[in-house]
Structure 1
Amino acid sequence: MRFEQLDLNLLVALDILLEEQNITRSAERLHLSQSATSGILSRLRAFFEDDLLVQIGKKMQPTPFALELQGPVAGVLATVRGSIIGRKANNPEQSERHFKIIASDYIVQVLLRHVVAELAISAPKVTFEFLSPFAHEVSMLAKGGADIMMAPEAVMLEAYPSTHLVSDELVCIADINNQLVNDELSFEQFNSLGHVSVGFARASHLSIEQWLIQTMETNRRVEVITNDFSTMIYTLLNTNRIGILPKHFAEMHVQSQAVKIIKLPFETPKLKESMMWHPTLENDPMHRWLRQRILDSAAKFQ
């Protein structure tokens, strides 16, 4: 279909090309050959009279005009999916909807694994793709690159609909054979031992650092920064390092007898995770259905 001389089918391809910035990956998502995808890019360049994506070394980088287009194009497609197509496809048992969810390995392992197991039976054609919040910014929602984001409440945007998901305690862990700590840490031990921390997003903002500095007036000696909680655990094994992470996640890994939970010398704030989505998806029936399934599972988590 054409609108003002633009083949609207090309907008879907443009959205993917700008997100992936790679012909091979874009071709895979479009289910086309690389040559066909390159042909689509050529047609887009001709219509917009702009290179859109420029090959620099081994990477393709968007032009300034392409960056201007990215938000509006993603917004249009999100509106179509949420307000038009979404209202038609409201049958979970037959739906082939593909949901992209930004969530940490903590949320996936303690919560979403139960959701996908249940939906494998009740909605067998629905598929999922989990994206790490440590590598993807909130802007992914605005660009239409994700359907839902699950992250600490502090990350939620006022202009986007959101809801509380789960609360959890923060605990300290160490290698099961760490001889420098027993069941409880002293404040001096907390400050002297090396720490492993999780860094949020590309800027590697440390998860609890600000609270420790402002409230406890202490800087821990962070020796390793990882991009997920699972890796965090592995990087303190066979060392004297310690780390702070959500209690439910820690308890899962204590069962493997590789780590132990140690009492901190102070009370920490609770970790409060929320779920957020783009406003255009607020009334999408399938999206609303999935949100409710997630909330039902989260209610059992408490």
Structure 2
Amino acid sequence: MENVDLNLLTALDVLLEEASVTGAARRLGLSTSAMSRTLTRLRFVTGDPLLVRAGRHLVPTPYAMDIREHVHILTRDVQAVLRPQHRELDLKTLDRTFVLRANEGFLNVASAPLVTSILKEAPRVRLQFAPKPDKDALPLREGRIDLEIGVRGASAPEIRSRLMFRDTFIGVARIGHSLFADGDISVARYAACQHVAASRRGTFWGPVDDALEQLGYQRNVSVVVPGFPDTLEIVRHSDLITHVPRSCLAALSKETPGISDLKLFPLPVQTSEIAISAMWHPRLDADPAHRWLRDIVQSICKQVFAC
């Protein structure tokens, strides 16, 4: 449909209701001459006179009588679609499924308090946690993921994001490791150890290796595993050392099995902070339920990651 002017629909609705060019002009804030020109256009578009003179008044044609109710319904529906809505969000009756994507480390720490808070406020909401094998933005674009938590990639500039917290790497080795024998941990002694690294892509190189290379060192990565919790288990039972985001340790307590076998230490090299963000597609930006979800995720992150 080319050159369709939806303003004509509103004008037709008012004209048929008022049966008066002057009355319709007053309601729409137009001059009488402008309203008269609009009626001329409507007559041309519809091929019908619509309103004809009967003495000093205008009366609708049979066609106008026939379409009057239909035009009114259409006008109301168009206005409902094109005007912004300000409906109150009723969390008690909100019936919706949200799909969240996050890595294992985040879920280990934040999933339990997040689920508890969401279901307390919105008991009919359903949550589905999806695996995060990469930073591909396609699931967000296609609507298969509602909210993603992690490090923002550079491949999808239209994706919206909000910083949740900042993370840093911390070194981990077993209690009694020779690395702790001689006081402060030097870069040379750190690089000389055997390392276990976590990488979803299975790579042996990461930010720590970049930092070491700038100082003229290279570490020996003997093992690569998919997730940071796996590195801790290997470190606990071997002489390998590792580094993990400090957030991975937030869920661990003194009562966690095996935690007393591990010792944390600051890395002897500087690495950039890790910015953990919530990401979503712009189509959900103004959605009240999605805004509530983003707010509650940020609130939980502030609680469990002390940020």
Alignment of 1:1-302 (within 5 A): 90-134=89-133, 137-154=136-153, 157-182=156-181, 184-200=184-200, 202=201, 204=203, 206-209=205-208, 211-212=210-211, 215-250=214-249, 252-253=251-252, 255=254, 256-300=259-303, 301-302=306-307
From the superposition, tell whether residues 248 and 187 of structure 1 become closer, same or farther in structure 2 (CA, over 3 Å): same
1:192-215 Cα deviation digits (max 9, x unpaired): 111111214x46485425632564
2:104 partner amino acid = D
1:199 partner amino acid = S
User: Retained in 1: the 8 A contact 2:204–2:221?
Assistant: no
From the superposition, tell whether residues 198 and 284 of structure 1 become closer, same or farther in structure 2 (CA, over 3 Å): same
- Shift of residue 248, structure 1, vs aligned partner: 3.3
1:186 partner amino acid = S
From the superposition, tell whether residues 268 and 135 of structure 1 become closer, same or farther in structure 2 (CA, over 3 Å): closer
Which residue matches 1:38?
none
Equivalences, count: 217
User: Retained in 2: the 8 A contact 1:165–1:274?
Assistant: yes
Structure number, greater radius of gyration: 2
User: Retained in 2: the 8 A contact 1:170–1:244?
Assistant: yes
User: Retained in 2: the 8 A contact 1:134–1:199?
Assistant: no
From the superposition, tell whether residues 207 and 89 of structure 1 become closer, same or farther in structure 2 (CA, over 3 Å): farther
2:161 partner amino acid = S
Structure 1: 5+ residue stretches without partners: 1-82
CA RMSD, Structure 1 to Structure 2 (Å): 3.0
Please give the secondary structure, in 1, of the residue aligned with 2:267. coil
2:227 partner amino acid = D
From the superposition, tell whether residues 185 and 164 of structure 1 become closer, same or farther in structure 2 (CA, over 3 Å): same
User: Retained in 1: the 8 A contact 2:202–2:226?
Assistant: no
Task: Find the aligned partners of 1:205 and 1:141 in 2 and give their Cα distance.
Answer: 28
2:211 partner amino acid = L
Task: Find the aligned partners of 1:223 and 1:267 in 2 and give their Cα distance.
Answer: 22
User: Retained in 2: the 8 A contact 1:103–1:130?
Assistant: yes
User: Retained in 2: the 8 A contact 1:156–1:276?
Assistant: no
| TM norm structure 2 | 0.61
Please give the secondary structure, in 2, of the residue aligned with 1:91. coil
| TM norm structure 1 | 0.62
User: Retained in 2: the 8 A contact 1:197–1:222?
Assistant: yes
Task: Find the aligned partners of 2:170 and 2:264 in 1 and give their Cα distance.
Answer: 7
Which residue matches 2:4?
none
Task: Find the aligned partners of 2:160 and 2:214 in 1 and give their Cα distance.
Answer: 30
1:96 partner amino acid = D
User: Retained in 2: the 8 A contact 1:173–1:250?
Assistant: no
1:267 partner amino acid = Q
From the superposition, tell whether residues 222 and 87 of structure 1 become closer, same or farther in structure 2 (CA, over 3 Å): farther
Please give the secondary structure, in 1, of the residue aligned with 2:260. coil
From the superposition, tell whether residues 252 and 173 of structure 1 become closer, same or farther in structure 2 (CA, over 3 Å): farther
- Shift of residue 190, structure 1, vs aligned partner: 1.5
Structure 2: 5+ residue stretches without partners: 1-81
Please give the secondary structure, in 1, of the residue aligned with 2:235. coil
